[in-house]
């Protein structure tokens, strides 16, 4: 962690999956946390757990839907107030609704884009305003190895992650002079509710193991990281070259 960076973070999508696992690992490392998601009961349960384990930490709960775009600034402000300052925002909330193009699933595809891309952009946009005003901060965004190439059966999900990854890379350049640092996460398959029902999840790892790797990247302010690095680093370069007839077999 760079000197001077305050160890306070807002996590969206903190009620389960990668968000909850990362919250537990960050708390173990001494971070004060603002936990945000739509499901209040799950957030309160996680907050209660962390407060019991780490009574010296400030842990706050913020019920928020990332598709309520106008409320993004209010979420950032309330998290900063609750924690006494905000050093980082983990833009992690996402959904994994599937559906083939032309398969009467456009509503699912629209919801995926509204949540994973537009919702993520709205939170990031609000966070950047806050960080510029205070002189710096860190944005961490959950993308996916699905950003390396659109996956048959869930193309909208890939589009949302490709779009958000591009957005964050643009922010890296725009925010550099404002001391805003960006970490882009590309998780492979992680054993969380979002992959339940997916028939093939090669090289899947446990959420707590993924969280250790993610927090390491956050604290080092690594520009981008694939989780786990192998074999997905190799897949990143191979996937664009796989013929469409073979990709068709790998769909969700």
Secondary structure element (H or E) that encloses residue 229, with its range: none
* 201 C-beta neighbours (distance < 10 Å), count: 14
* 218 C-beta neighbours (distance < 10 Å), count: 23
- The catalytically annotated residue of 54, 69, 157, 167 is 157
Strand residue runs (E) in the chain: 8-12, 32-37, 59-63, 88-91, 137-142, 180-187, 190-191, 205-206, 224-227
Cβ-contact 127, 174 below 8 angstroms: no
Cβ-contact 215, 21 below 8 angstroms: no
Q: What's the DSSP call for residue 127?
A: H
Q: Is 157 a catalytic residue?
A: yes
Q: Cis bond leading into 155, ω under 30°?
A: no
Sign of CA dihedral 188, 189, 194, 200: positive
Distance CA 60, CA 33 (A): 6
> Distance from CA of residue 41 to its chain's centroid?
21
Strands 59-63 and 180-187: unpaired
Secondary structure element (H or E) that encloses residue 204, with its range: none
Strands 137-142 and 180-187: parallel
- Kindly list the catalytic residues: 157
């Amino acid at each position: 962690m760079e000197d001077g960076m305050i160890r306070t973070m807002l996590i969206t999508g903190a009620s389960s999956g990668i968000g909850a696992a990362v919250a537990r690992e960050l708390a173990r490392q001494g971070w004060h946390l603002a936990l945000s998601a739509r499901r209040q009961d799950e957030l309160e349960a996680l907050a209660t757990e962390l407060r019991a384990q780490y009574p010296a930490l400030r842990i706050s709960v913020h019920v928020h839907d990332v598709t309520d775009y106008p409320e993004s600034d209010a979420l950032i402000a309330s998290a900063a107030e609750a924690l006494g300052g905000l050093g980082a925002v983990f833009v992690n909330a996402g959904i994994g609704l599937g559906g083939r193009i032309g398969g009467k699933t456009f509503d699912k595809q629209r919801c995926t884009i509204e949540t994973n891309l537009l919702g993520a952009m709205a939170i990031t946009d609000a966070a950047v305003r806050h960080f510029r005003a205070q002189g710096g901060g860190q944005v961490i965004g959950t993308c996916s190895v699905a950003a390396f190439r659109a996956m048959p059966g869930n193309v909208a999900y890939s589009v949302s992650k490709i779009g958000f990854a591009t957005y964050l890379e643009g922010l890296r350049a725009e925010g550099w002079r404002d001391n805003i640092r960006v970490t882009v996460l590309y998780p492979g398959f992680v054993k969380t509710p979002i992959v339940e029902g997916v028939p093939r999840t090669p090289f899947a790892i446990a959420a707590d193991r993924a969280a250790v790797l993610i927090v390491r990247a956050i604290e080092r302010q690594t520009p981008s990281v694939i989780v786990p690095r192998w074999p997905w680093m190799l897949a990143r370069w191979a996937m664009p070259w796989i013929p469409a007839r073979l990709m068709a077999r790998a769909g969700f």
